[in-house]
Amino acid sequence: MRLLPVLEGLHSAEAFNPGFLRAFLERTRALEAGPAEFQDALAGRVIATVFEEPSTRTRLSFESAALRLGAGVISVADPKTSSAVKGESLRDTARIVSGYSDLIVWRHPRDGASRLAAQAAQVPVINGGDGRIGHPTQTLLDLYTLYREWGDLAGRTVGLMGDLRNGRTARSLAWGLALLEARVLQLPAPGLAWEASFEQRIADRAGYALRHVRHPLFRTWTGEETARVLEPRLATQGWLFGDGVPLLERLDALYLTRLQEERGAAPRDGVYPGLRPAHLADPLLEQCLLLHPLPRRQELPEELDEDPRARYFEQARNGVLARQALYLAMLRAERWPLPELTPLPAGHPDAELGVCPNPNCITRAEGIPVPWRVAGKVQRLFLCAYCDALLPVDYAGCRSTLRLHPLHSPSVARIHPENLRPFRAREAAQRQGYTWSEA
Ligand code: CP
């Protein structure tokens, strides 16, 4: 069974779907319950770990997972020792490492690096964290940690706290939680919230709606008493008849994250949310599991480590199991298959769109045109197919009728995504034979 027919491998949590995630969680539990069945499952295989950013947990747990399944491991643990420092492109590196291995785990500072590497590689690529946008295997171990506690995640409320804008673990986890019908409470540091287009993509894909809830602790953490929560649309309808912003009475898990200083992040007024021992006495957190992808800073003091709600060290340990389950699905699918992921399109390169607006996009580093893809149902969004940045598009054309519309006109929502073409300027569209339609 192939994973991701267009971009071979696992690059984004957006590629998950409920069937894949549920089967994955069950497989990981089987691995935990009976590791002997899987011993030597990857004998004779070679896994390459190429880490162009520092890592303790991700690289070592991927390597441990490979060794426990009988595979060999080759590694670039320090980017200063690879030929990237001599100016070798990501695409060339991917081609070369493909010749030495059966699967590559890649960590890279640039947004979208994993998808580009996958297009050049001849073996599957797994994203071990790229830039600000994705860390999908962290999500798999995060979800497994919650699944071990609760079984079904549906209806649970999970708060994501800290640097949501720059933190790839929280971004990826938001997809996983929404696809398993959990509520996603956002507790960002001031000025470090997600952009609206990211929220919209999750809401569209999962059938979710946005609403607000309040709690006095939120003010302590974020400076605001209200917080945004993404939840199944039907759950939101039940609240429409209430007055004002409802009080959140119970949080099932809190996922803390550190400030991503290496990406230039700085919270407004220097305020950064974190837990203090006194917060744990609040009824909101009575049953609340505490998770953190680690490494931690001041947001998670060591005094909390012995609290019975703390799960972050167990969470890190689960990384080996989760990564074993993924290797089996990708390299031994004939024996241990998982349902297919939802393909992310490779996108359409278009010189008219210029460069990607995201200065950290891999297309900028590699000097290649930005390919676009379509997201959104009610309101169409054109995104960079590598880094998911919202492209500055004001018009959309229909390839079959050659009519051009303002991007936010209702007509655009009715055009099949395959027939859409983005334009920044009307003149560019008219040069291509499109005729203007106000509607
Ligand atoms: N959680 C995580 O990605 O940790 P590392 O940076 O140590 O891999």
What crossing angle do the helices spanning 168-179 and 196-206 adopt, rounded to 10°? 20
Q: How far is the CA of 135 from the centre of ligand 1 (A)?
A: 9
Prediction pTM value: 0.95
Instruction: Among 50, 51, 57, 127, say which to mutate for ligand 1: greatest number of ligand atoms within 8 Å of CB.
Output: 57
Q: How far is the CA of 294 from the centre of ligand 1 (A)?
A: 6
- Average model confidence (pLDDT) across the chain: 93
Q: How far is the CA of 262 from the centre of ligand 1 (A)?
A: 13
Query: Which strands, in side-by-side order, build the sheet including 226-232?
Result: 208-214, 226-232, 183-188, 157-162, 253-256, 289-291
CA distances (Å), 432 to each of 173, 232, 352, in order?
Answer: 41, 42, 11
Give the residue, by CA position, lying nearest to ligand 1 atom 5: 55
- The Cα 3–Cα 139 span in angstroms is 17
Residue 352 DSSP code: G
| Known catalytic membership, residue 348 | no
Q: Which atom of ligand 1 is nearest to the CA of 135?
A: 3
Q: Give per-residue pLDDT as tens, 72-90.
A: 999 999 888 888 888 899 9
Instruction: Among 51, 52, 58, 323, say which to mutate for ligand 1: greatest number of ligand atoms within 8 Å of CB.
Output: 58
Q: How far is the CA of 56 from the centre of ligand 1 (A)?
A: 6
**H or E segment at 329?**
helix 312-331
As a whole number, mean pLDDT of residues 149-167 equals 98
Please report the domains of the chain, with CATH numbers, ordered by start residue: 9-133+317-331 (3.40.50.1370), 137-312 (3.40.50.1370), 348-436 (no CATH)
What sections of 107-208 are H helices per DSSP? 113-120, 136-150, 168-179, 196-206
Q: Which atom of ligand 1 is nearest to the CA of 107?
A: 8
Q: Give per-residue pLDDT as tens, 228-267.
A: 999 999 875 555 556 689 999 999 999 999 999 999 888 8
| Known catalytic membership, residue 364 | no
Q: Which of 29, 57, 148, 403 is catalytic?
A: 57
| Residue list, ligand 1 pocket, CB within 6 Å | 55-58, 129, 138, 293-294
Instruction: Among 55, 63, 105, say which to mutate for ligand 1: greatest number of ligand atoms within 8 Å of CB.
Output: 55
Q: Give per-residue pLDDT as tens, 274-289.
A: 999 999 999 999 999 9
Residue 383 DSSP code: E
What tokens appear for 124 in the block? 């599957």
Give the residue, by CA position, lying nearest to ligand 1 atom 6: 55
Q: What is the pLDDT, as a whole number, of residue 243?
A: 66
Q: How far is the CA of 245 from the centre of ligand 1 (A)?
A: 36
Q: Which atom of ligand 1 is nearest to the CA of 56?
A: 7
| Known catalytic membership, residue 107 | yes
Q: How far is the CA of 59 from the centre of ligand 1 (A)?
A: 8
User: β-strands 157-162, 125-130: how paired?
Assistant: unpaired
In our burial notation (b when 16+ CB lie closer than 10 A, e otherwise), range 366-392 reads bebbbbbbbbbeeebbbbbbbbbbbbe
Task: Tell me: pLDDT of 3 over 50.
Answer: no
Q: Which of 59, 68, 107, 311 is catalytic?
A: 107
Kindly state the percentage of the chain with pLDDT values over 70: 96
As a residue count, the chain comes to: 439
Q: Which of 135, 165, 380, 405 is catalytic?
A: 135
| Known catalytic membership, residue 58 | yes
In this structure, how many other beta carbons lie within 10 angstroms of the beta carbon of residue 352?
A: 16
Q: Give per-residue pLDDT as tens, 185-212.
A: 999 999 999 999 999 999 999 999 999 9
| Known catalytic membership, residue 86 | yes
Q: Give per-residue pLDDT as tens, 78-128.
A: 888 888 888 899 999 999 999 999 999 999 999 999 999 999 999 999 999
Cis? peptide before 277, omega within 30° of 0: no
Q: What is the CA radius of gyration of the chain?
A: 22
As a whole number, mean pLDDT of residues 324-328 equals 97
Q: What is the pLDDT, as a whole number, of residue 242?
A: 64
Q: How far is the CA of 431 from the centre of ligand 1 (A)?
A: 49
Candidate from 59-68, 85-94, 311-320 with smallest mean pLDDT: 85-94
| Contact partners, residue 262, CB within 8 Å, separation at least 6 | none
Q: Which residue has the tokens 């989760």?
A: 322
